[in-house]
A = this chain, B = another copy of it.
Amino acid sequence: MSKNLTSRADDYSKWYNELVVKADLAENSAVRGCMVIKPYGYAIWEKMQAELDRMFKETGHQNAYFPLFVPKSLFEAEEKNAEGFAKECAVVTHYRLQNDPDNPGKLRVDPDAKLEEELVVRPTSEAIIWNTYKGWIQSYRDLPILINQWANVVRWEMRTRLFLRTAEFLWQEGHTAHATEAEALIEAEQMNNVYAEFAENFMAIPVIKGVKTESERFAGAIETYCIEALMQDGKALQAGTSHFLGQNFAKAFDVKFTNNEGKLDYVWATSWGVSTRLVGALIMTHSDDKGLVLPPNLAPSQVVIVPIFKTDEQFEAITEKAEQIIKELKALGVSCKFDKRTTHRPGAKFAQHELQGVPLRIAIGPKDLENNTVELARRDTLTKEIVQIDNIASTIKDLLELIQDELFKKALNFREEHITEVDDLETFKNVLETKTGFISAHWDGTIESEQKIKELTKATIRCIPSDNKLEAGKCIYSGNPSTQRVLFAKAY
């Protein structure tokens, strides 16, 4: 199967699209821009969900659920937010179909079932949630509210790609309400740190934490914290964002509270989210020309056992060994699948598991039975070794930790090699086109320079890194004074 995969060098974009489909992660649906997430892809998303959910709860958040629809009058209440999303809204205008008198057996929208007020399918839920919070908040005693929602959202994007940009996608959106500006700022930054920790420790994707420039901020935010990752083709991918919303939504929805001095004030807000886009980031960070490479933390099966046999007796003996290994691995918290399908030969199974990125493959054949060994193959390095079956479970557990660690380091090395300090626009263009990656360059802080650089190079400012050091310099576009470098890149 993998032999049909386009190589990254030949066409990175095609490689990605093919891989998503061939590895059975997702496919396009009959609905323009919407994807079907297939069981294997969804299992990866479930692992992400479980870990993120644990992290959210550990930091004091609870889950809740708010309506899919936002009445137009609520949607337009926070003007900047509304303006930011208006152009990509799916709108429900009717609530009934009827038989089409002109086409027997067909349906049409019932013209008498027009809604008095149109409903926007949520592109994000600030409006419906802050309209709800209004009823929940009277005093500082009602604060903070720390809520997260797992949901689907719809943004009518014109150019879509599986996982990376789809008209409907799955995500989580945290929406918190606070009594003070300081507390909301701490929350927004905390959740960006949670995302960074998740990306690095769980997904093995190194990220740069920072804040967005004004023109790249979430519509309605005062500050947008973000984590930026670098893909293997040298393009950046925004992997998560956390917004300090100030009092914008509280003002739009008139959400006031009595503070502990008895005075009325508007409530302070944050929102933060990551989406199924992370699956795209995962694929593009680690995978190779043979298919997916999954970090052990996110692999639906961390180990697969393939039996190699001719006789029923051999199969039975191998099965016994396999079941023993699975039992020992389970006790150590390692997931392992025994691929005993009779419809596929070992070679086809090897190819499939390679394509689907199972971190470790065990093959057991007749010789292994004699020698009390197995063949253990790593997906990430494509190396194989014969190992003794005694203590194999703990060997595997250690190896999985090593793989997780090495995948991160490999991606980190790539990222570090692809941050280039540049001090003039010609070199900027050159590095962007040849070496690719992040470009660390001086910028004068104006929207004009940012836009011009984008027009000239297609690179955007991905973030102003959180750990940035101050450094006097000149804007690569205008030549005007600058106090720090920012990170530019072409981006997904």
- Assign chain A's interface to a size class: 35 or more
| Residue A91 interfacial (CB < 8 Å) | yes
Residues on B with C-beta less than 8 A from A64 are 36-39, 42
Shortest distance from the beta carbon of A34 to any chain B beta carbon, whole Å: 4
Cβ of A30 and Cβ of B91 under 8 Å apart? no
Contact B93 A128 (CB under 8 A): no
Given the complex of chains A and B, what is the CA–CA distance between A465 and B91 in angstroms?
Answer: 44
Q: Is the CB of B119 within 8 A of A31?
A: yes
Taking a contact as CB atoms closer than 8 A, the residue among B29, B62, B89 that contacts A42 in the complex is B62
- A58-110: which have CB < 8 Å to B? 62-72, 74-76, 79, 82, 86-99, 105-107, 109
A65 to chain B, nearest CB (A): 4
> For A46, what are the chain B residues with a Cβ–Cβ distance below 8 Å?
63
Q: Are B39 and A62 in contact (CB under 8 A)?
A: yes
Q: Does A489 contact B (CB under 8 A)?
A: no
Identical chains in the assembly: 2
Contact status A88-B95, CB under 8 Å: yes
Find out whether the CB atom of A36 lies under 8 angstroms from the CB atom of B66: yes
A184 within 8 A of B: no
Assuming A90-B95, A107-B86, is B30 touching A71 (CB within 8 A)?
Answer: yes
Cα A120 to Cα B121 with chains together (Å):
12
- Contact among B65, B75, B88 for A36, CB-based, below 8 A: B65
B107 pairs with A96, CB closer than 8 A: no
Contact B92 A91 (CB under 8 A): yes
Q: Specify the chain B residue showing the minimal Cβ separation from A92.
A: B90
Please state if A132 and B68 are interface contacts (CB–CB under 8 Å): no
- Which residues of B sit under 8 angstroms from A135, Cβ to Cβ? 27
Cβ contacts A107-143/B at 8 Å (1 or 0 each): 1010000000011110000001001100100000100
With A66-B29, A132-B36, A170-B65 as contacts: A93 and B96 at CB distance below 8 Å? no
- Which single residue of chain B is at the shortest CB-CB distance from A98? B86
**Residue A272 CB within 8 A of the other chain:** no
User: In the docked arrangement, what's the CA distance between A75 and B109, Å?
Assistant: 12
Interface residues of A in 279-320 (CB under 8 A from B): none
Give the contacting residue for A87; candidates B70, B97, B106, B343; CB below 8 A: B97
Question: Counting CB contacts under 8 A, is A482 at the interface?
Answer: no
Q: Would B29 and A43 count as touching, CB distance under 8 A?
A: no
Shortest CB distance A69–B (Å): 5
- Given A93-B91, A97-B87; A68-B30 close (CB under 8 Å): no
Minimum CB–CB distance for A36 against chain B, Å: 5
Residues of B within 8 A of A72 (CB): 97, 107
| CA of A131 to CA of B152, assembled, Å | 21
Contact of A68 among B34, B42, B120 (CB under 8 A): B34
Closest to A93 in B: B93
- Contact with A31, one of B67, B89, B94 (Cβ below 8 angstroms): B67
Does any Cβ of B come within 8 Å of A168's Cβ?
yes
* Inter-chain contact A141/B343, CB cutoff 8 Å: yes
Q: Do A67 and B97 touch (CB < 8 A)?
A: no
Q: What are the residues of chain B within 8 A of A38 when measuring CB–CB?
A: 64
Q: A326 on the interface (CB 8 Å rule)?
A: no
Shortest beta-carbon distance from A74 to chain B in Å: 6
CA distance in complex: A92, B69 (Å): 11
List the B side residues contacting A42 at CB < 8 Å: 62-65
Q: Decide if A156 is an interface residue (CB 8 Å cutoff).
A: yes
List 14 extra interface pairs beyond A46-B63, A92-B92, A93-B109, CB under 8 A: A27-B135, A29-B66, A34-B68, A39-B64, A42-B64, A42-B65, A45-B65, A67-B168, A72-B107, A86-B96, A87-B98, A91-B92, A91-B95, A121-B121
A–B Cβ pairs within 8 angstroms, 10 of them: A30-B128, A31-B70, A31-B71, A31-B119, A39-B147, A68-B121, A72-B107, A82-B107, A86-B96, A91-B109
Closest 4 CB pairs of A and B: A39-B62, A34-B67, A37-B65, A86-B97
